[in-house]
Structure 1
Amino acid sequence: MKIEMKASGDSGLILVFGDSISMETNNRIRLAAAEIEALGIEGIIELVPAYCTILVVYDPLKIGFEELRKRLEFLEESTGDVSTLAEKRKKCVLPVCYGGHNGHDLENVASHKGLTIQEVVEIHSDANYVVYMIGFTPGFPYLGGMDERIATPRLLSPREKIPAGSVGIAGSQTGVYPMQSPGGWQIIGRTPIRIFDPERENPALLSAGMVVKFKPVDEKEYLEIEKLIDEGIYEFEILDEGGEACEENQN
Protein backbone atom coordinates (compact mmCIF):
# COMPACT_ATOMS: atom_id res chain seq x y z
CA MET A 1 0.00 0.00 0.00
CA LYS A 2 1.38 3.40 -1.00
CA ILE A 3 1.92 5.65 2.03
CA GLU A 4 2.70 9.32 1.59
CA MET A 5 5.17 10.81 4.07
CA LYS A 6 5.42 14.55 4.61
CA ALA A 7 6.81 16.96 7.17
CA SER A 8 4.66 18.69 9.77
CA GLY A 9 6.72 21.52 11.21
CA ASP A 10 10.22 20.75 12.47
CA SER A 11 9.27 17.85 14.73
CA GLY A 12 6.47 16.00 12.99
CA LEU A 13 6.13 13.45 10.18
CA ILE A 14 2.71 12.66 8.77
CA LEU A 15 1.93 9.25 7.28
CA VAL A 16 -1.00 9.48 4.85
CA PHE A 17 -2.95 6.27 4.15
CA GLY A 18 -5.05 7.50 1.22
CA ASP A 19 -8.20 9.60 1.59
CA SER A 20 -10.89 7.00 2.33
CA ILE A 21 -12.47 6.97 5.79
CA SER A 22 -13.24 3.31 6.36
CA MET A 23 -12.73 0.40 8.73
CA GLU A 24 -10.07 -0.97 6.38
CA THR A 25 -8.09 2.27 6.58
CA ASN A 26 -8.56 2.42 10.35
CA ASN A 27 -7.25 -1.14 10.72
CA ARG A 28 -4.24 -0.32 8.55
CA ILE A 29 -3.48 2.74 10.68
CA ARG A 30 -3.77 0.76 13.92
CA LEU A 31 -1.47 -1.95 12.59
CA ALA A 32 1.09 0.60 11.38
CA ALA A 33 1.06 2.35 14.75
CA ALA A 34 1.65 -0.96 16.53
CA GLU A 35 4.53 -1.80 14.18
CA ILE A 36 6.16 1.59 14.73
CA GLU A 37 5.86 1.26 18.51
CA ALA A 38 7.41 -2.21 18.34
CA LEU A 39 10.52 -0.77 16.67
CA GLY A 40 11.27 1.43 19.67
CA ILE A 41 12.90 4.10 17.50
CA GLU A 42 14.83 6.51 19.70
CA GLY A 43 13.54 10.04 19.27
CA ILE A 44 9.88 9.24 18.61
CA ILE A 45 7.82 11.04 21.25
CA GLU A 46 4.23 10.29 20.30
CA LEU A 47 1.97 8.76 17.65
CA VAL A 48 -1.32 10.52 16.90
CA PRO A 49 -3.68 8.42 14.72
CA ALA A 50 -6.52 10.11 12.82
CA TYR A 51 -9.03 9.13 10.11
CA CYS A 52 -6.47 8.60 7.33
CA THR A 53 -3.17 9.63 8.90
CA ILE A 54 -0.69 9.09 11.70
CA LEU A 55 1.26 12.05 13.03
CA VAL A 56 4.66 10.91 14.27
CA VAL A 57 5.98 13.48 16.75
CA TYR A 58 9.75 13.23 17.20
CA ASP A 59 12.71 14.97 18.81
CA PRO A 60 14.79 16.46 15.95
CA LEU A 61 17.84 16.52 18.23
CA LYS A 62 17.74 12.72 18.40
CA ILE A 63 16.57 11.79 14.91
CA GLY A 64 16.24 13.78 11.70
CA PHE A 65 13.30 13.80 9.29
CA GLU A 66 15.10 11.93 6.50
CA GLU A 67 16.42 9.23 8.81
CA LEU A 68 12.97 8.75 10.34
CA ARG A 69 11.37 8.61 6.90
CA LYS A 70 13.77 5.89 5.81
CA ARG A 71 13.16 3.93 9.01
CA LEU A 72 9.41 3.95 8.27
CA GLU A 73 9.56 3.02 4.58
CA PHE A 74 9.04 -0.63 5.54
CA LEU A 75 5.37 0.16 6.24
CA GLU A 76 4.60 0.18 2.51
CA GLU A 77 5.69 -3.46 2.28
CA SER A 78 4.15 -4.55 5.58
CA THR A 79 2.12 -7.75 5.38
CA GLY A 80 0.77 -7.68 8.92
CA ASP A 81 -2.57 -9.41 9.48
CA VAL A 82 -5.19 -6.74 10.25
CA SER A 83 -7.76 -9.45 11.04
CA THR A 84 -6.07 -10.01 14.40
CA LEU A 85 -6.86 -6.44 15.45
CA ALA A 86 -10.52 -7.21 16.10
CA GLU A 87 -9.50 -9.72 18.74
CA LYS A 88 -7.58 -7.03 20.62
CA ARG A 89 -10.29 -4.36 20.70
CA LYS A 90 -11.80 -3.34 24.02
CA LYS A 91 -15.47 -2.48 24.22
CA CYS A 92 -16.82 0.31 26.41
CA VAL A 93 -20.55 0.29 27.16
CA LEU A 94 -21.93 3.78 27.78
CA PRO A 95 -25.37 4.23 29.37
CA VAL A 96 -27.32 6.99 27.60
CA CYS A 97 -30.54 8.76 28.53
CA TYR A 98 -32.04 9.68 25.16
CA GLY A 99 -34.33 12.63 24.45
CA GLY A 100 -35.97 15.15 26.76
CA HIS A 101 -33.67 17.76 28.30
CA ASN A 102 -30.76 15.37 27.71
CA GLY A 103 -31.34 15.18 23.96
CA HIS A 104 -32.99 18.31 22.62
CA ASP A 105 -32.44 17.34 18.98
CA LEU A 106 -33.73 13.77 19.06
CA GLU A 107 -37.06 14.87 17.59
CA ASN A 108 -35.24 16.82 14.86
CA VAL A 109 -33.31 13.71 13.83
CA ALA A 110 -36.46 11.58 13.82
CA SER A 111 -38.38 14.15 11.77
CA HIS A 112 -35.50 14.66 9.33
CA LYS A 113 -35.26 10.93 8.62
CA GLY A 114 -38.99 10.13 8.74
CA LEU A 115 -38.57 7.86 11.76
CA THR A 116 -40.13 7.65 15.20
CA ILE A 117 -38.10 8.71 18.22
CA GLN A 118 -37.97 5.10 19.40
CA GLU A 119 -36.67 3.95 16.02
CA VAL A 120 -33.83 6.48 16.17
CA VAL A 121 -32.91 5.31 19.68
CA GLU A 122 -32.99 1.65 18.64
CA ILE A 123 -30.89 2.24 15.53
CA HIS A 124 -28.33 4.37 17.37
CA SER A 125 -27.96 2.00 20.31
CA ASP A 126 -27.94 -1.18 18.23
CA ALA A 127 -24.58 -0.56 16.55
CA ASN A 128 -21.04 -1.22 17.69
CA TYR A 129 -18.97 1.89 17.00
CA VAL A 130 -15.21 2.06 16.52
CA VAL A 131 -13.24 5.02 17.85
CA TYR A 132 -11.49 6.24 14.71
CA MET A 133 -9.67 9.06 16.46
CA ILE A 134 -9.66 11.43 19.42
CA GLY A 135 -9.85 15.16 18.68
CA PHE A 136 -11.69 18.51 18.82
CA THR A 137 -11.46 18.64 22.63
CA PRO A 138 -9.47 16.34 24.97
CA GLY A 139 -11.03 12.89 24.92
CA PHE A 140 -13.65 13.58 22.20
CA PRO A 141 -14.19 10.27 20.33
CA TYR A 142 -15.04 10.35 16.62
CA LEU A 143 -17.00 7.14 16.13
CA GLY A 144 -17.33 5.20 12.89
CA GLY A 145 -20.06 2.75 11.99
CA MET A 146 -23.24 4.79 12.40
CA ASP A 147 -26.26 3.64 10.40
CA GLU A 148 -26.98 6.01 7.49
CA ARG A 149 -30.68 5.79 8.35
CA ILE A 150 -30.09 8.32 11.14
CA ALA A 151 -27.41 10.47 9.46
CA THR A 152 -28.41 14.11 9.99
CA PRO A 153 -26.63 17.40 9.14
CA ARG A 154 -25.11 19.57 11.85
CA LEU A 155 -27.11 22.42 13.31
CA LEU A 156 -27.14 25.56 11.15
CA SER A 157 -26.15 27.63 14.19
CA PRO A 158 -23.84 25.97 16.76
CA ARG A 159 -24.76 26.25 20.43
CA GLU A 160 -22.47 28.12 22.80
CA LYS A 161 -22.65 25.43 25.48
CA ILE A 162 -23.07 21.68 25.04
CA PRO A 163 -23.09 19.81 28.40
CA ALA A 164 -20.39 17.24 29.11
CA GLY A 165 -21.55 13.73 28.24
CA SER A 166 -23.84 14.86 25.42
CA VAL A 167 -24.18 12.32 22.62
CA GLY A 168 -24.52 13.86 19.18
CA ILE A 169 -24.87 13.22 15.47
CA ALA A 170 -23.21 15.23 12.70
CA GLY A 171 -23.69 13.89 9.20
CA SER A 172 -22.80 10.20 9.28
CA GLN A 173 -20.75 10.55 12.47
CA THR A 174 -21.66 10.19 16.11
CA GLY A 175 -19.65 11.19 19.15
CA VAL A 176 -19.67 12.18 22.82
CA TYR A 177 -18.76 15.60 24.22
CA PRO A 178 -16.25 14.94 27.03
CA MET A 179 -16.61 18.40 28.55
CA GLN A 180 -18.83 21.44 28.25
CA SER A 181 -17.98 23.24 25.03
CA PRO A 182 -19.51 24.98 22.02
CA GLY A 183 -20.77 22.61 19.34
CA GLY A 184 -23.03 22.16 16.36
CA TRP A 185 -23.89 18.47 16.54
CA GLN A 186 -27.48 17.25 16.86
CA ILE A 187 -27.74 16.26 20.54
CA ILE A 188 -29.86 13.13 21.01
CA GLY A 189 -28.93 12.03 24.53
CA ARG A 190 -26.46 12.21 27.37
CA THR A 191 -24.28 9.77 29.29
CA PRO A 192 -23.41 10.27 32.97
CA ILE A 193 -20.02 8.66 32.34
CA ARG A 194 -17.11 11.08 32.49
CA ILE A 195 -15.42 10.54 29.14
CA PHE A 196 -12.58 12.81 30.23
CA ASP A 197 -11.51 13.25 33.84
CA PRO A 198 -8.15 14.93 34.60
CA GLU A 199 -8.19 13.32 38.06
CA ARG A 200 -7.95 9.79 36.61
CA GLU A 201 -4.62 8.11 35.94
CA ASN A 202 -5.70 7.89 32.30
CA PRO A 203 -7.85 11.03 31.86
CA ALA A 204 -9.42 9.93 28.55
CA LEU A 205 -11.71 6.92 28.98
CA LEU A 206 -11.67 6.07 25.27
CA SER A 207 -8.82 5.69 22.80
CA ALA A 208 -8.48 5.06 19.08
CA GLY A 209 -9.36 1.47 18.17
CA MET A 210 -11.78 0.85 21.03
CA VAL A 211 -15.39 -0.20 20.43
CA VAL A 212 -18.25 1.80 21.94
CA LYS A 213 -21.75 0.49 22.57
CA PHE A 214 -24.56 2.77 23.77
CA LYS A 215 -27.07 1.35 26.25
CA PRO A 216 -30.40 3.21 26.67
CA VAL A 217 -31.32 4.06 30.27
CA ASP A 218 -34.16 6.11 31.73
CA GLU A 219 -33.82 9.27 33.80
CA LYS A 220 -33.90 7.36 37.09
CA GLU A 221 -31.10 5.02 36.04
CA TYR A 222 -29.11 7.99 34.74
CA LEU A 223 -29.29 9.75 38.10
CA GLU A 224 -28.41 6.56 39.99
CA ILE A 225 -25.29 6.06 37.86
CA GLU A 226 -24.37 9.73 38.25
CA LYS A 227 -24.61 9.35 42.04
CA LEU A 228 -22.35 6.27 42.03
CA ILE A 229 -19.81 8.17 39.94
CA ASP A 230 -19.86 11.12 42.34
CA GLU A 231 -19.30 8.69 45.23
CA GLY A 232 -16.37 7.10 43.39
CA ILE A 233 -17.82 3.59 43.40
CA TYR A 234 -19.07 3.21 39.82
CA GLU A 235 -17.38 0.50 37.75
CA PHE A 236 -16.92 1.30 34.09
CA GLU A 237 -18.31 -1.40 31.84
CA ILE A 238 -15.25 -2.07 29.70
CA LEU A 239 -14.93 -5.52 28.15
CA ASP A 240 -12.68 -7.26 25.70
CA GLU A 241 -14.30 -8.57 22.53
CA GLY A 242 -14.74 -11.93 24.20
CA GLY A 243 -16.97 -10.40 26.85
CA GLU A 244 -14.48 -10.66 29.72
CA ALA A 245 -13.99 -7.69 32.04
CA CYS A 246 -10.73 -5.78 31.61
CA GLU A 247 -8.60 -4.37 34.42
CA GLU A 248 -9.69 -0.85 33.47
CA ASN A 249 -13.14 -1.79 34.80
CA GLN A 250 -12.18 -0.50 38.23
CA ASN A 251 -12.89 3.13 39.04
Structure 2
Amino acid sequence: MKPRYSFGGDEHVFVEFGEEMSLEGFFASMSLTNAIRDSRIRGVTEICPANATLLVKYDPDVISPADMMGEIRQLETAAEKTEPVLRTRIIEMPVYYNDPWTHETLMRFRDRHQAPDATDLEYSAKISGYDDVSSFIGAHAGSPWFVSAVGFVAGLPFMYQMVERPLQIDVPKYLRPRLDTPRLTVGHGGCFGCVYSVRGAGGYQMFGVTPMPIYDPRQELNYLRDFMIFFKPGDIVKFKPVGREEYDDTVRRVDANNFEPLIRQVTFNLEDFHKAPTACNQALEGILHDR
Protein backbone atom coordinates (compact mmCIF):
# COMPACT_ATOMS: atom_id res chain seq x y z
CA MET A 1 0.00 0.00 0.00
CA LYS A 2 1.55 3.28 -1.12
CA PRO A 3 0.81 5.93 1.50
CA ARG A 4 -0.61 9.35 0.70
CA TYR A 5 0.73 12.29 2.70
CA SER A 6 -0.85 15.60 3.65
CA PHE A 7 -0.41 18.30 6.26
CA GLY A 8 -2.85 18.90 9.11
CA GLY A 9 -2.22 22.54 9.87
CA ASP A 10 1.34 23.32 10.88
CA GLU A 11 1.64 20.69 13.64
CA HIS A 12 0.52 17.43 12.02
CA VAL A 13 1.37 15.11 9.15
CA PHE A 14 -1.45 12.83 8.03
CA VAL A 15 -0.63 9.54 6.30
CA GLU A 16 -3.38 7.53 4.57
CA PHE A 17 -2.95 3.95 3.38
CA GLY A 18 -6.40 3.45 1.90
CA GLU A 19 -9.95 4.76 1.89
CA GLU A 20 -11.46 1.58 3.27
CA MET A 21 -10.74 -0.31 6.47
CA SER A 22 -8.67 -3.47 6.07
CA LEU A 23 -6.25 -5.38 8.23
CA GLU A 24 -3.59 -4.76 5.57
CA GLY A 25 -4.12 -1.02 5.93
CA PHE A 26 -3.93 -1.23 9.69
CA PHE A 27 -0.70 -3.25 9.62
CA ALA A 28 0.84 -0.76 7.18
CA SER A 29 -0.11 2.02 9.56
CA MET A 30 1.33 0.18 12.56
CA SER A 31 4.58 -0.61 10.73
CA LEU A 32 5.17 3.05 9.93
CA THR A 33 4.10 4.02 13.45
CA ASN A 34 6.73 1.72 14.92
CA ALA A 35 9.37 2.96 12.49
CA ILE A 36 8.70 6.59 13.44
CA ARG A 37 8.73 5.75 17.14
CA ASP A 38 11.97 3.78 16.92
CA SER A 39 13.74 6.41 14.84
CA ARG A 40 13.12 9.08 17.51
CA ILE A 41 12.67 11.89 15.01
CA ARG A 42 13.32 15.15 16.80
CA GLY A 43 10.20 17.21 17.42
CA VAL A 44 7.69 14.34 17.33
CA THR A 45 5.33 14.64 20.30
CA GLU A 46 2.64 12.08 19.49
CA ILE A 47 1.89 9.29 17.00
CA CYS A 48 -1.71 8.16 16.53
CA PRO A 49 -2.47 5.13 14.30
CA ALA A 50 -6.11 4.67 13.33
CA ASN A 51 -7.66 2.06 11.03
CA ALA A 52 -5.75 2.61 7.77
CA THR A 53 -4.32 6.03 8.63
CA LEU A 54 -1.69 7.65 10.81
CA LEU A 55 -1.41 11.09 12.38
CA VAL A 56 1.95 12.43 13.57
CA LYS A 57 2.02 15.50 15.81
CA TYR A 58 5.24 17.48 16.02
CA ASP A 59 6.61 20.77 17.34
CA PRO A 60 7.14 23.16 14.38
CA ASP A 61 9.57 25.18 16.51
CA VAL A 62 11.85 22.13 16.57
CA ILE A 63 11.39 20.80 13.03
CA SER A 64 9.81 22.36 9.94
CA PRO A 65 6.77 20.76 8.28
CA ALA A 66 8.76 19.93 5.14
CA ASP A 67 11.57 18.31 7.12
CA MET A 68 9.05 16.36 9.20
CA MET A 69 7.39 14.94 6.11
CA GLY A 70 10.77 14.16 4.57
CA GLU A 71 11.88 12.25 7.66
CA ILE A 72 8.72 10.12 7.60
CA ARG A 73 8.99 9.42 3.88
CA GLN A 74 12.52 8.10 4.37
CA LEU A 75 11.12 5.45 6.72
CA GLU A 76 8.65 4.09 4.15
CA THR A 77 10.88 1.42 2.60
CA ALA A 78 11.91 -0.11 5.92
CA ALA A 79 8.31 -0.08 7.12
CA GLU A 80 7.08 -1.79 3.94
CA LYS A 81 9.53 -4.68 4.49
CA THR A 82 8.29 -5.33 8.02
CA GLU A 83 6.67 -8.74 8.49
CA PRO A 84 2.91 -8.46 9.23
CA VAL A 85 3.28 -9.99 12.68
CA LEU A 86 2.03 -8.41 15.88
CA ARG A 87 2.68 -9.37 19.47
CA THR A 88 -0.51 -8.33 21.22
CA ARG A 89 -3.28 -9.26 23.66
CA ILE A 90 -6.48 -11.23 23.27
CA ILE A 91 -9.14 -10.15 25.76
CA GLU A 92 -12.42 -11.77 26.73
CA MET A 93 -15.19 -9.21 27.22
CA PRO A 94 -18.51 -10.31 28.78
CA VAL A 95 -21.59 -8.87 27.05
CA TYR A 96 -25.19 -8.94 28.22
CA TYR A 97 -26.98 -8.90 24.87
CA ASN A 98 -30.54 -7.62 24.53
CA ASP A 99 -30.29 -6.02 27.96
CA PRO A 100 -33.04 -3.82 29.48
CA TRP A 101 -31.01 -0.57 29.54
CA THR A 102 -30.13 -0.32 25.86
CA HIS A 103 -33.64 -1.59 25.07
CA GLU A 104 -35.22 1.24 27.07
CA THR A 105 -32.92 3.74 25.38
CA LEU A 106 -33.49 2.54 21.83
CA MET A 107 -37.26 2.60 22.35
CA ARG A 108 -37.01 6.32 23.22
CA PHE A 109 -35.38 7.06 19.87
CA ARG A 110 -37.29 4.93 17.35
CA ASP A 111 -38.17 8.04 15.36
CA ARG A 112 -34.46 8.30 14.46
CA HIS A 113 -34.15 4.70 13.28
CA GLN A 114 -34.56 3.01 9.89
CA ALA A 115 -36.97 0.44 11.36
CA PRO A 116 -39.13 2.08 14.05
CA ASP A 117 -41.12 -1.12 14.61
CA ALA A 118 -38.06 -3.30 15.31
CA THR A 119 -35.30 -3.26 17.92
CA ASP A 120 -31.71 -2.61 16.89
CA LEU A 121 -30.90 -6.32 17.16
CA GLU A 122 -33.97 -7.35 15.16
CA TYR A 123 -33.17 -4.84 12.43
CA SER A 124 -29.49 -5.82 12.30
CA ALA A 125 -30.31 -9.53 12.17
CA LYS A 126 -32.80 -9.04 9.35
CA ILE A 127 -30.65 -6.94 7.03
CA SER A 128 -27.66 -9.20 7.72
CA GLY A 129 -29.58 -12.26 6.55
CA TYR A 130 -29.98 -14.08 9.87
CA ASP A 131 -33.15 -15.97 10.75
CA ASP A 132 -33.42 -14.52 14.25
CA VAL A 133 -31.70 -12.42 16.89
CA SER A 134 -30.14 -15.45 18.56
CA SER A 135 -28.33 -16.43 15.35
CA PHE A 136 -27.15 -12.86 14.86
CA ILE A 137 -25.77 -12.69 18.40
CA GLY A 138 -24.00 -15.98 17.75
CA ALA A 139 -22.31 -14.46 14.70
CA HIS A 140 -21.38 -11.28 16.57
CA ALA A 141 -19.82 -13.19 19.49
CA GLY A 142 -18.54 -16.10 17.42
CA SER A 143 -15.37 -14.52 16.05
CA PRO A 144 -12.71 -12.19 17.49
CA TRP A 145 -12.60 -8.46 16.79
CA PHE A 146 -9.48 -6.43 16.06
CA VAL A 147 -9.11 -3.02 17.74
CA SER A 148 -7.98 -0.79 14.89
CA ALA A 149 -8.33 2.60 16.60
CA VAL A 150 -9.13 4.17 19.97
CA GLY A 151 -10.74 7.57 20.20
CA PHE A 152 -13.73 9.77 19.32
CA VAL A 153 -14.38 9.89 23.07
CA ALA A 154 -11.80 8.80 25.63
CA GLY A 155 -11.13 5.07 25.49
CA LEU A 156 -13.71 4.11 22.85
CA PRO A 157 -12.40 1.24 20.68
CA PHE A 158 -13.25 0.85 17.01
CA MET A 159 -13.25 -2.88 16.24
CA TYR A 160 -13.02 -4.77 12.96
CA GLN A 161 -14.50 -8.28 12.74
CA MET A 162 -11.92 -10.98 12.01
CA VAL A 163 -13.78 -13.02 9.41
CA GLU A 164 -13.78 -13.17 5.62
CA ARG A 165 -15.20 -9.95 4.21
CA PRO A 166 -18.46 -11.49 2.91
CA LEU A 167 -19.20 -12.68 6.46
CA GLN A 168 -18.50 -9.39 8.21
CA ILE A 169 -21.42 -7.73 9.96
CA ASP A 170 -22.25 -4.50 8.16
CA VAL A 171 -25.19 -2.43 9.40
CA PRO A 172 -25.75 1.32 9.03
CA LYS A 173 -25.90 3.79 11.88
CA TYR A 174 -29.15 5.44 12.96
CA LEU A 175 -30.65 7.90 10.49
CA ARG A 176 -30.14 10.61 13.13
CA PRO A 177 -27.98 10.26 16.24
CA ARG A 178 -29.56 9.51 19.59
CA LEU A 179 -29.22 11.99 22.43
CA ASP A 180 -28.38 9.19 24.85
CA THR A 181 -26.44 5.92 24.94
CA PRO A 182 -25.84 3.92 28.13
CA ARG A 183 -22.25 3.70 29.32
CA LEU A 184 -20.50 0.49 28.18
CA THR A 185 -22.97 -0.16 25.36
CA VAL A 186 -21.67 -2.58 22.73
CA GLY A 187 -22.66 -1.07 19.40
CA HIS A 188 -22.11 -1.32 15.68
CA GLY A 189 -22.10 1.08 12.73
CA GLY A 190 -20.99 0.28 9.19
CA CYS A 191 -18.16 -2.25 9.41
CA PHE A 192 -17.11 -1.19 12.92
CA GLY A 193 -18.04 -2.47 16.32
CA CYS A 194 -17.44 -0.31 19.37
CA VAL A 195 -17.89 -0.04 23.13
CA TYR A 196 -19.17 3.30 24.42
CA SER A 197 -16.76 4.15 27.21
CA VAL A 198 -19.00 6.87 28.64
CA ARG A 199 -22.68 7.78 28.51
CA GLY A 200 -23.59 10.21 25.75
CA ALA A 201 -25.01 10.77 22.31
CA GLY A 202 -24.46 8.15 19.63
CA GLY A 203 -25.63 6.68 16.37
CA TYR A 204 -24.44 3.07 16.38
CA GLN A 205 -26.91 0.19 16.62
CA MET A 206 -27.06 -1.01 20.26
CA PHE A 207 -26.64 -4.75 20.86
CA GLY A 208 -25.99 -5.01 24.60
CA VAL A 209 -23.81 -3.83 27.49
CA THR A 210 -20.63 -5.04 29.11
CA PRO A 211 -20.07 -4.92 32.87
CA MET A 212 -16.35 -4.32 32.25
CA PRO A 213 -15.28 -0.64 32.45
CA ILE A 214 -12.78 0.42 29.81
CA TYR A 215 -12.08 3.98 30.95
CA ASP A 216 -11.22 5.18 34.46
CA PRO A 217 -9.92 8.78 34.62
CA ARG A 218 -9.17 8.36 38.34
CA GLN A 219 -7.25 5.14 37.71
CA GLU A 220 -8.77 3.45 40.75
CA LEU A 221 -9.76 0.15 39.15
CA ASN A 222 -7.11 -2.50 39.69
CA TYR A 223 -6.64 -3.23 35.98
CA LEU A 224 -6.61 0.47 34.98
CA ARG A 225 -4.12 1.82 37.51
CA ASP A 226 -1.25 1.98 35.01
CA PHE A 227 -3.29 3.85 32.40
CA MET A 228 -6.82 5.20 32.42
CA ILE A 229 -7.68 3.76 28.98
CA PHE A 230 -7.92 -0.01 28.65
CA PHE A 231 -7.77 -0.66 24.91
CA LYS A 232 -4.98 0.11 22.46
CA PRO A 233 -4.72 -0.44 18.69
CA GLY A 234 -3.82 -4.03 17.93
CA ASP A 235 -5.77 -5.60 20.79
CA ILE A 236 -7.98 -8.56 19.91
CA VAL A 237 -11.37 -8.85 21.61
CA LYS A 238 -13.54 -11.95 22.01
CA PHE A 239 -17.07 -11.25 23.21
CA LYS A 240 -18.61 -13.68 25.72
CA PRO A 241 -22.43 -13.67 25.92
CA VAL A 242 -23.63 -13.63 29.54
CA GLY A 243 -27.03 -13.57 31.22
CA ARG A 244 -28.37 -11.19 33.83
CA GLU A 245 -27.04 -13.22 36.76
CA GLU A 246 -23.45 -13.29 35.50
CA TYR A 247 -23.68 -9.65 34.47
CA ASP A 248 -24.80 -8.60 37.97
CA ASP A 249 -22.11 -10.75 39.57
CA THR A 250 -19.42 -9.11 37.42
CA VAL A 251 -20.74 -5.64 38.29
CA ARG A 252 -20.44 -6.53 41.98
CA ARG A 253 -16.86 -7.69 41.45
CA VAL A 254 -16.03 -4.49 39.58
CA ASP A 255 -17.54 -2.41 42.42
CA ALA A 256 -15.47 -4.39 44.94
CA ASN A 257 -12.40 -3.84 42.73
CA ASN A 258 -11.59 -7.53 42.46
CA PHE A 259 -12.54 -8.11 38.81
CA GLU A 260 -9.71 -9.05 36.46
CA PRO A 261 -10.34 -9.29 32.69
CA LEU A 262 -9.26 -12.53 31.05
CA ILE A 263 -6.20 -11.55 29.00
CA ARG A 264 -3.61 -13.65 27.18
CA GLN A 265 -0.53 -12.64 25.19
CA VAL A 266 -0.64 -13.83 21.57
CA THR A 267 1.29 -13.47 18.33
CA PHE A 268 -0.94 -12.59 15.40
CA ASN A 269 0.33 -13.22 11.89
CA LEU A 270 -1.71 -11.51 9.18
CA GLU A 271 -0.55 -13.91 6.44
CA ASP A 272 -1.57 -16.95 8.51
CA PHE A 273 -4.96 -15.36 9.13
CA HIS A 274 -5.61 -14.81 5.43
CA LYS A 275 -4.63 -18.40 4.63
CA ALA A 276 -7.05 -19.89 7.17
CA PRO A 277 -9.20 -17.36 9.08
CA THR A 278 -11.31 -19.93 10.91
CA ALA A 279 -8.33 -22.00 12.05
CA CYS A 280 -6.50 -18.84 13.14
CA ASN A 281 -9.48 -17.67 15.19
CA GLN A 282 -9.85 -21.09 16.79
CA ALA A 283 -6.18 -21.04 17.75
CA LEU A 284 -6.58 -17.59 19.31
CA GLU A 285 -9.57 -18.73 21.33
CA GLY A 286 -7.65 -21.82 22.38
CA ILE A 287 -4.88 -19.61 23.75
CA LEU A 288 -7.45 -17.45 25.53
CA HIS A 289 -8.81 -20.48 27.37
CA ASP A 290 -5.49 -22.37 27.57
CA ARG A 291 -6.60 -25.17 25.28
Question: If the length of structure 1 is used for normalisation, what is the TM-score?
Answer: 0.90
Amino acid at match of 2:206: I
Q: Which residue in the other structure is 2:191 paired with?
A: 172
2:143 aligned with 1:130: no
Q: Which residue in the other structure is 1:216 paired with?
A: 241
After superposition, where does 1:77-226 map in structure 2 within 5 Å?
A: 77-78=77-78, 79-85=80-86, 88-104=87-103, 105-113=120-128, 114-145=130-161, 148=167, 150-200=169-219, 201-226=226-251
Q: How far did 1:57 drift?
A: 0.4
Q: How far did 1:210 drift?
A: 0.9
Q: How far did 1:120 drift?
A: 1.0
- Given that 1:98 and 1:121 are in contact with CA atoms closer than 8 Å, whether structure 2 keeps it comes out as yes
- Given that 1:152 and 1:171 are in contact with CA atoms closer than 8 Å, whether structure 2 keeps it comes out as yes
- Given that 2:215 and 2:228 are in contact with CA atoms closer than 8 Å, whether structure 1 keeps it comes out as yes
Q: How far did 1:178 drift?
A: 0.5
Matches of 1:102 and 1:239, distance apart in 2: 30
Q: How far did 1:102 drift?
A: 4.4
2:37 aligned with 1:37: yes
* CA separation of 1:192 and 1:84: change in aligned 2, threshold 3 A: same
Q: Deviations over 1:134-171 (max 9, x none)?
A: 12211111111266464222222322110111001212
Amino acid at match of 1:198: P
Q: Which deviates the most, 163-172 or 150-159?
A: 150-159
Q: Which residue in the other structure is 2:18 paired with?
A: 18
- Given that 1:124 and 1:150 are in contact with CA atoms closer than 8 Å, whether structure 2 keeps it comes out as yes
Q: How far did 1:237 drift?
A: 1.6
Secondary structure in structure 2 of the residue aligned to 1:162: coil
Q: Which residue in the other structure is 1:229 paired with?
A: 254
Q: Which deviates the most, 141-150 or 212-221?
A: 141-150
Q: Deviations over 1:192-232 (max 9, x none)?
A: 11111112231111011111110111111011111111111
Secondary structure in structure 1 of the residue aligned to 2:237: strand
Matches of 1:80 and 1:204, distance apart in 2: 31
* CA separation of 1:17 and 1:193: change in aligned 2, threshold 3 A: same
* CA separation of 1:223 and 1:75: change in aligned 2, threshold 3 A: same
Task: Give the superposed CA RMSD.
Answer: 1.9
Secondary structure in structure 2 of the residue aligned to 1:26: helix
* CA separation of 1:109 and 1:146: change in aligned 2, threshold 3 A: farther
Secondary structure in structure 1 of the residue aligned to 2:36: helix
Q: How many residues align?
A: 243
Q: Which deviates the most, 147-156 or 91-100?
A: 147-156
Q: How far did 1:174 drift?
A: 1.1
Q: Which residue in the other structure is 1:248 paired with?
A: none
- Structure 1 vs Structure 2: percent identity of aligned residues? 29
Q: Deviations over 1:72-94 (max 9, x none)?
A: 12233224333322xx0211211
- Given that 1:192 and 1:226 are in contact with CA atoms closer than 8 Å, whether structure 2 keeps it comes out as yes
Matches of 2:176 and 2:67, distance apart in 1: 47
Secondary structure in structure 1 of the residue aligned to 2:188: strand
Amino acid at match of 2:124: V
Q: Which residue in the other structure is 2:113 paired with?
A: none
Amino acid at match of 2:35: E
Matches of 2:61 and 2:169, distance apart in 1: 49
Question: If the length of structure 2 is used for normalisation, what is the TM-score?
Answer: 0.78
Q: How far did 1:59 drift?
A: 0.9
Q: Mind listing any 5+ residue stretches in structure 2 that lack a counterpart?
A: 104-119, 220-225, 268-286
